[in-house]
Amino acid sequence: MDCDPLISNPRARALLADGRFDEAMREPLHARSTAADPLRAMLSRDGATEDGAFAGMTVGELIYDYVHLNPMVLAAAEFSHRDVDGLFSFAVWAGKFDDVNDAAGRGAVNGLQGYVGEELMSLHLEEQGFTVEAPAAPNNPEFDRWVDGEKFQMKTLGSMSGVHEHFRDYTCPMIVNADLAEQTEGMHNVFVDYDVHRADVRDMVQSNIVHGHGLAEGHVPWISFLASSPLPLYRLYKRETDLVGAVTVITTNTGGRLAGGSIGGKSGAVAGAMLFGPAGAVIGLALGSIAGSVAGRQVAGVARRSFTRDEEDALRDAAATTATLALEALPMKRGAWERKRSLLADVVREDPQARDVGSYVARCHDENWTYMEHNAELLDRSRSEMRSMPALIVWQRTLILLKRSAIHPYAFQAGLAELNALAERLIGSRKRWMVK
């Protein structure tokens, strides 16, 4: 029996040749390369590497969204929305808006940018030494802040209509953004904050809603794709798969991670919110997305197993055929063994002085036969168990039992050649579709 095409590790081949199968089975099939290949080492754990990448990018995105939240916008949101009282509740509020450019998103931006403008103007006044106070309620139509005890209206406007409306109803002074500097020049009771521009305020608000939405909703789709792509592409580069295989693996793993991550994220967010409020919702989203992504990838791998099912069945059938051929040769081997046993008994009878040596040889002879016959019985029994065992385990077990049964491969060489060829084909298919 020659396993050379499938076993390139010299130590494993030497142990198999010596009959030390237990030790051989603990050796890798292929010798470890002495050349450093950090990328292969990093990608060698397949699913674990993908899961780690997904988790790392998920947590990284949370951190990225967190550090891009402007405290000024958070303060404005807390002042203007009763249900916002911190970072996590802001994330939950922002999570309601999928697109800052649709009707709901524009409404949220328009509603918040005025308050952000007020916060910026107040900060600039305080930097100049003025004392600024905010009213208890955010929706006072007459004024927005007290500045050194005087009422001031603060507006971030795109046109003069808001200025005219204010002075039609009220007399308190106004502070407006730099965009209206020319139009308000010379107007009584109108002051300009030259560091506040309407477009900048709007961009700031939009950016914070987007990043707050990211904290609340995660980034499962593109993270799923990025986590699922490197390993198939690396194997494509190494010619361990083809383009169809790589694209199929990327597509199924991305789909599995997307479905699992989305379901897990929403479930985790709900559970976290019930237990710990807004903070729990954000943390539950991240943990649920990661757990759901792992489960989704595993489901995708199970689904791809259908691509190798016919080859697995063919390998099991070939193992059963090879075992049957070997067992059919067992009676002839038993006859030869019994003839040798009879010859040994004749020698002992003819030479009494050789009795002790003969008895020892006969005992060893019988023990060896018992060992080989036991393994032949295991081989016979394994034929009925092959359908419930993993195909490659069936292949390995069959090779070991054939060797231990000590039946010459001449009796089953045709079956053995087909068995090894099918095993090699299955190993290649599993690499192509990245299934275990």
Residue 286 main-chain phi, psi, to 5 deg: -65, -50
Under 8 Å between Cβ of 104 and 91: no
| Least confident piece of the model among 266-280, 308-322, 385-399 | 266-280
Asked if residue 257 has pLDDT above 50, the reply is yes
pLDDT of residue 278: 59
Asked if residue 382 has pLDDT above 80, the reply is yes
**84 versus 393: which is more confidently predicted?**
393
Is CATH 3.40.1350 correct for 71-204?
yes
Under 8 Å between Cβ of 190 and 163: yes
The phi-psi region of residue 435 (left if phi > 0; otherwise alpha if psi is between -120 and 50; otherwise beta) is beta
SS3 string, 104-135, reads: HHHHHHHHHHHHHHHHHHHHHHHHCCCCEECC
Q: Where are the domains of the chain?
A: 1-34, 38-60+213-307, 71-204, 308-433
Q: Which of 286, 267, 253 is nearest to 59 (CA)?
A: 286
Structure tokens at 268: 């985790």
Determine which helix (DSSP H) or strand (DSSP E) holds 149, and give its type and residue range.
none
Report pTM.
Answer: 0.46
Under 8 Å between Cβ of 426 and 308: yes
d(CA 311, CA 390): 12
Q: Rounded mean pLDDT of 247-265?
A: 66
d(CA 285, CA 267): 8
Which pLDDT band holds residue 222 (cuts at 50, 70, 90)?
very low
d(CA 100, CA 368): 80
**211 versus 42: which is more confidently predicted?**
211
pLDDT of residue 69: 65
Percent share of the chain, pLDDT over 70:
64
Residue 174 main-chain phi, psi, to 5 deg: -125, 150
Q: Rounded mean pLDDT of 242-257?
A: 71
Place of tokens 């993993």: 390
> How many beta carbons lie within 10 A of that of residue 302, not counting itself?
12
Percent share of the chain, pLDDT over 90:
19
Q: Which of 435, 152, 112, 131 is nearest to 298 (CA)?
A: 435
User: How far is residue 150 from each of residues 19, 132, 153, 172, measured CA to CA in Å?
Assistant: 98, 9, 10, 8
The secondary structure of residue 414, as a DSSP letter, is H
Condensed to tens digits (0 to 9), the pLDDT of residues 138-153 reads 778 889 999 999 999 9
Q: ∠29-31-36 over CA atoms, to 5°? A: 135
d(CA 190, CA 230): 59
Cite the beta strand spans of 81-219 per DSSP E. Answer: 132-133, 145-147, 150-155, 174-177, 190-193
d(CA 18, CA 188): 104
pLDDT of residue 165: 93
pLDDT of residue 125: 94
Q: Rounded mean pLDDT of 358-374?
A: 76
pLDDT of residue 168: 92
For residue 120, how many C-alpha atoms fall within 13 Å in the half-sphere facing its CB?
26
d(CA 297, CA 261): 10
Asked if residue 116 has pLDDT above 80, the reply is yes
d(CA 436, CA 433): 9
Which pLDDT band holds residue 40 (cuts at 50, 70, 90)?
very low
Condensed to tens digits (0 to 9), the pLDDT of residues 406-423 reads 888 888 888 888 998 999
Structure tokens at 63: 């951190």
For residue 181, give the 3-state DSSP assignment: coil
User: How far is residue 56 from each of residues 137, 287, 290, 412, measured CA to CA in Å?
Assistant: 42, 11, 9, 52
d(CA 187, CA 167): 11
Q: State the average pLDDT for the chain.
A: 75
Condensed to tens digits (0 to 9), the pLDDT of residues 42-68 reads 444 555 555 555 455 455 555 545 555
Q: Which of 183, 174, 179, 176 is nearest to 200 (CA)?
A: 179
DSSP 292-308: HHHHHHHHHHHHHGGGG
Under 8 Å between Cβ of 56 and 49: no
